[in-house]
């Protein structure tokens, strides 16, 4: 592989397509996972002295969203596929 193949717009069209796919993936699901997980930890840490039902619901919802996002990323489920299934019904 020649170094010019790594520069978008100059290289092999397959390389450009691969860069676009990686860029699309890198900017979505892992960032959302980190956001949901860190928000859940932050809510729990700030409310550790007064753990009531509302705090537990907030923390569990953030961790549930983080788990769903992780599953989407790990199993490579495309959101467009989910949208197609929903539209068919």
Count of structural domains within the chain: 1
The mean pLDDT of 42-66, rounded to a whole number, is: 92
- Long-range Cβ contact pairs of 21-25 (< 8 A, separation 24 or more): 25/73
Query: Is the model more confident about 29 or about 36?
Result: 36
Percent of the chain with pLDDT strictly greater than 90: 33
Nearest Cα to 36, choosing from 3, 59, 19? 59
Give the model's pLDDT for residue 5: 60
Domain of 26? 3-88
């Amino acid at each position: 592989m020649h170094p010019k193949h790594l520069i978008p717009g100059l290289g092999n069209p397959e390389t450009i397509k691969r860069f676009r796919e990686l860029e699309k993936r890198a900017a979505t699901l892992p960032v959302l996972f980190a956001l949901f997980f860190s928000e859940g930890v932050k809510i729990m840490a700030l409310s550790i002295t007064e753990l009531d039902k509302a705090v537990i619901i907030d923390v569990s919802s953030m961790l549930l969203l983080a788990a769903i996002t992780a599953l989407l990323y790990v199993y490579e489920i495309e959101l467009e596929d989910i949208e197609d299934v929903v539209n068919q019904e």
